[in-house]
Chain A
Amino acid sequence: MSKNLGILAVLVVVFFTFGFLEDRFFLPGNLFNLIRWTALFGILSIGVSFVIITGGIDLSIGSVVGLSATLLPWFLAQHELSAPVALALVVIAALAIGLAHGLLITKLRLQPFVVTLCGLLVYRGLARTLTDDQVQGFGMGHSALRQIAKGMPCSLALLTALVGIGYLMWHSLRWVFPRTWRKGLLKTPGELLAIGCAALLGFGGLLIWALDAGELARIQAPAPFLILVVLAILAGVLLDRTVYGRHLRAFGRNETAARYSGLAVDRNVVIAYVLCALCSALAGVLFALDVNSVQPAIFGNFYELYAIAAAVLGGCSLRGGQGSILGVVVGTAVIQVLRNGISMLGIPDKLEFVILGAVILIGVAADEVIRRLVARRRLDARVRAAANATA
């Protein structure tokens, strides 16, 4: 939780710094774009965080994005399949990819780095071969389908209100049914703060929506953002409230002990890679529907690095076992705000990677330093308490 707070603070600071430097940054249109890109990349990051929590890595994300982004228009425009069939085929392809990764890693005991590196090459080549390297697109058609990526289902204020108030209601359920109330945890400052934030967002959003107040009320929620919110809630529940999530974390912390404890480790890991591939494919489809011009050779190149960077920035440890969905989503937002801000401020594009790299490095280093400081302070406090007790 404290990790999430840290990255949230970074997001707020970066966001307002850019806003302060360039007032157009806060324009509703720009915020809308920002949220949409965050949503698209966030889906990738959520997927990869499952893999990272197992202590693995997926380098094939960019290529899976490229392949699925290529396949959808290829099925639709070239082969004139119906949308449901095309989507189903893309999902099947992603399932097969994730299964292949997972099985190679668990059953053949190959290293995730190697397996997914080969995947990176194979899927890119596959996308290029299938389409004969031709640019894929939907042209002017499939506008209904493209609503999935381009639609604006509701106002952002309403969505925020629903999420915030939903969180509060779920919390109050725990009071109504104390059997499911996790004793002691509510007292942690992190949880209280989360409730505070939820209340602020929920009622703030509700107020803005109800009063139809100004610019803010008119910002629409991009459809991908709605997808991200749903996905993040599902992923968060899966990770923190199910046996699967607990077992996944345990496996990431200590693989040997997990085996000795009789966990179905292989199955869990396979599922993690399947989830990652599915998320990548979902994002790929959304990217394609949004951008509408897919060059099989380059589409999605290096996106795995954005996803991994966001996950790490959001508190995942590449050693495994650690990470939260909220942190990962916020981490993605930080990266997207940086990219957007850099181009809004007219900072030369050449510098983009320098700034991104530096911020991620500083973020991760600061987290480590703070962690040690806190540990040190706790230790000192214990010493003092012990000294007082003996004195």
Chain B
Amino acid sequence: MKFLRRMRSAISESRLVLLLVVAVAAMAVFVACGDDDSTSATKTPGGAPTQTPGPQLSGSINGDGSSTVFPISEAVAEEFRKVQPGVDVVVGIAGTGGGFKKICNGETDFNDASRPVKDAETQACAAKNIELVEFQVAFDGLSVLVNPANDFAECLTVAELKSIWQPGSTIKNWKDVRAGFPDMPLTLYGPDTDSGTFDYFTEVINGEAKASRPDYTASADDNTLVQGIAGDDNALGYFGFAYYEENQDKLKLLGVDAGSGCVQPSRETILDESYAPLSRPLFVYVRGDALERPEVKAFMRFYLENGKQLVGEVGYVEAPDSVYQQELAKLK
């Protein structure tokens, strides 16, 4: 018995030591591999451009940026892989601003953006000798929504929206929005402050990006806002058009009057920009030096030539043909 026990404990000791040895060895191997790979990884981008652009390209393209634009870039990358399987395109969701920091740091080749680049960002890029080329790839229409039980509101003017959403607004009842609206509490829903949608809405409605009353239900997930508005008779909220399209039975869409009559967002009114001022363009920014690489150029060409159909599939509105033609000219 004693002997057996000793045997067993000896085995477990050696097993423990073995475990430690394996763990340390694994660490050493991983670190060694890491060094090895990093040098070879830095070599490839420098070596690739010497080849002439043939039909089958290879290389890797790094994208990041807005989670709003992500579904479009994902769709394009998915389709691009079918024609150019040798090119690895990856896309992240660091946000529009976070993505600009990365591209200006030389970490990415393109950046999805749900708003135009800011001057400060262009300057930060220029300081690193990085030039950004802007491509407009689609339109989105920020939609204003209420609960279907709301039978009095059909349309709000930009001024009324501003009186509701501006910083310091004290409107807490529908009757204070417009004379004639019933005496009903008003509860507000909107995207959280990190969102590009929030930036855009506050800029065109309140006149200053990120200036908004703070006492509303905020969520980073637009589906949460859909649920909130669908379950609250007093609700008013805003988010991207795609989320309305998928939930038409649960929500009531309001028109917006910017002075020339009431316009409801639809594919047509967003496309011809009569749904103003809440139609917004969506962009992809590409690093000027990356555009010289044949695979990046081919990817952007594919984006602009085939993006049109894909944009609709993922819930956005395609830009007019003239815009795509104009953007394609930047690739020449």
Partners in one complex: no
| Chain B contacts to A: CB under 8 angstroms | none
